[in-house]
Amino acid sequence: MPEPCSGYLLSSGEPVPEVESKPRILIAEDDKLSRLKLEHFFSRQLDAELVLAEDGEQAWQLYNEAPVDIIISDWEMPGMTGPELCQRVRSDTSQFTYFLLLTSRTEQADMLEGMSTGADDYVRKPYDPPELLARVRSGLRRIALEEQMKKLNDELGSAYNKIREALHAAGQMQRKMIPSAEQIAQLGQRTGLQLDYRYVSCDDLGGDVLGMYVPDQDHVALFLADVSGHGVAASIAAVSMHTFLQTVLHTNTDPLKVMAAANQFACDEFPETTFATMAYFLFDVPRMSVDMIVAGHPPVLKMCSDGSMQQFESSYQPLGIFDDPPTAADVQRVELGAGERLIAYTDGVIETRNPTGRFYSLDFLFADIQARAHRPLEGLSQSILDAVANWRYTGEAEDDITVLAMSFQEVAALKS
C-alpha cells in the first residue's frame, strides 16, 4: 500500500516546486461510490484540500465560490457534462485551473473532442490508480510552475515600470537642457533673432540635442546635433555631447574650434560604433549673417525673400569617425535679410517613410516651408512635424525628430 505523500512528487520521483498553500482539488463525479473512492484514494496520497461535487452544475458553483487548482471530472454527468464544465472553466481567464477528464470512451475522436474543450489531460475508466496519481502530480507541477511564472512576471513587471519611470524622468531632464520658451523670447527681444523649434523623441530618451549660448549682445551660438542610434546609449552620448559643447562655448564660439573640439570629444568618448552629425551656427547680429559648419548633417535650408530655396550641404565629416579637424573651407557664411529663414533639422524628418516605403524627401520639405512663407515664423517647425506625421500616416516615429527655424526681424525697428 502506498505511503501518504508529505509533498508532491513527479512520476520520476523528483519533487515539484513548492506552492504557497495546500492545493484545492475539485472532484466532479455523479456516481456516489466512484466519488467516495476517489476521495479516499487522494486523501491518502496527497496533502490537498478535496472538494466533492455530485454533478457538473454543483462543480461549477463550487468553482465560483473559491479558487480551484485541479478539477478531476467525469465525462458523462446529468445536466452538465465534463467537457461542458471544462468550457465554462476555460472561459474564466482570471486564474489557471488544471482540468483532467475521466472517461470510459475509447474512440480517438471522442478524446480529441474532450481535449478541444480545453482539458489538459484525460484518463480512461476504469483508471489505473498509479497512472491517475501520476497525472495529478503532473498537474500539480504545472500549477506550481504557473505560480512561479506569475510571480516572476509580476516582479519583472514591477522592475519594468520602475525602469520606465526612471527613463521618463531622465527624458524630462534631457528636455530641460533645450532652450526654454522664455530664453527664446528674450533672445528675440535683445537681438532680433527669432527661433522656432520642435523636438519629438521616439523614446523617452532621445539622441537629438539642441543648445544655445549668447556670449554678448552681437553674437548667438546655436548647435543641433544627432547621435546615431536610439534609446539609453544614444541619449547618454547626446547628453555628454551637449554638456561638453556648452562648456566649450563658454570659452570659445569660433566655428572651427568648436567643431574641432566636438569631433575630438566624439572620437575620444563615444563607443566605436557611435557617431554624431551636427550643424553649428554663429550669428553675427549687427551684420545679420551666420557662419556655420555642417558636419555630416542633412542640408541646412534657406528660404530667400523671393520665395526661392537654397540648401547648404554638409562640408565636414560626421563627428567621431576621423580625428581630422575642420578647415576654413568648411565654414559657410550666409547672409540673412529680414524675414529670410534658415531651417535646420535632423534626419528623422527626411527619412520618415509612408506606408509604401517612400521617404519624405527634400522636395516635400521645400514645399511645406514655402507654403508658410507669408506666415509668422512661430509655428513653422510644428507645421513641418505635422506634415511629416501625415506622410507617415500610421505608427509611431522610428527616429527622433528636431526642427529648428531661424530668422531675423528688423533690428533697427526693435531698437527704435
For 136-169, how does the pLDDT look when each residue is reduced to its tens digit (9 = 90+)? 999 998 888 888 888 888 888 777 676 566 555 5
Place of cell 529648428: 404
Instruction: State residue 5's pLDDT score.
Output: 38
Return the pLDDT at 7: 38
Long-range residue pairs from 284-288, CB within 8 A, at least 24 positions apart, any chain: 284/218, 284/219, 285/191, 285/192, 285/193, 285/217, 285/218, 285/219, 285/220, 285/411, 286/218, 286/411, 287/335, 288/335, 288/336, 288/337, 288/338, 288/408, 288/411
Residues 240 and 317 in one domain: yes
**What's the grid cell of residue 2?**
502506498
For strands 309-312 and 219-227, give the pairing. Answer: unpaired
Residue 242 lies in a domain: yes
Tell me, what's the pLDDT at 181?
A: 85
List residues bridging with 139 in a β-sheet: none
Residue 415 has pLDDT above 50, yes or no: no
- 328-342: average pLDDT: 93
pLDDT (mean) for 348-356: 88
Asked if the structure places residue 16 within a domain, the reply is no
Looking at residue 244, which CATH number applies to its domain? 3.60.40.10
Same domain, 367 and 404: yes
Residue 15 has pLDDT above 70, yes or no: no
Q: Strand 208-216 and strand 219-227: pairing?
A: antiparallel
| Per-residue cell: 405 | 527655424
Does 203 lie in the same domain as 115?
no
**pLDDT for position 136:** 92
Largest CA distance in the chain: 108
Kindly report the three-state secondary structure assignment for every residue of 269-283.
HCCCCCCEEEEEEEE
Query: Cα(337)–Cα(271) distance, rounded to whole angstroms?
Result: 42
Query: Considering the domain boundaries, does residue 349 fall inside one?
Result: yes
- Residue 139 sits in the same domain as residue 205: no
CATH of the domain at 94: 3.40.50.2300
Among residues 129, 146, 149, 131, the alpha carbon closest in space to that of 67 is found at: 146
- What is the number of domains present in the chain? 2
Rounded average pLDDT over 222-246 = 85
276-294 average pLDDT score: 95
Domain hosting 300: range is 179-415
Does 28 have pLDDT greater than 90? yes
Cell of 324: 581630422
Residue-wise burial string across 331-369, b where 16 or more C-beta atoms lie within 10 A, e elsewhere: beebebeebbbbbbbbbbbbebeeeeeeebeeebbbebb
- C-alpha torsion sign, points 60, 65, 67, 71: negative
Dist. CA 229–CA 274, nearest whole Å: 7
pLDDT band at residue 411 using 50, 70 and 90 as cut-offs: very low
HSE-up of residue 160 (Cα within 13 Å, Cβ side): 6
**Residue 171's beta-bridge partner residues?**
none
User: Residue 305 and residue 190: Cα distance in Å, rounded?
Assistant: 23
pLDDT at 228: 87
- CA–CA dist 157, 135 (Å, integer): 32
Give how far Cα 132 sits from Cα of 30, 79, 81, 240, 327, Å. Answer: 18, 25, 20, 65, 84
User: Over the chain, what is the mean pLDDT?
Assistant: 85
Residue 32 lies in a domain: yes
pLDDT-wise least confident of 85-89, 172-176, 271-275, 341-345: 172-176
Q: What percent of the chain has pLDDT over 90?
A: 49
CA distances from 274 to 23, 79, 143 (A): 54, 69, 47
Please compute, for residue 229, the number of CA atoms within 13 A of its CA located in the half-sphere on the CB side: 15
Is residue 11 in some structural domain? no
**11 confidence band (pLDDT: 50, 70, 90):** very low
As a whole number, mean pLDDT of residues 357-361 equals 89
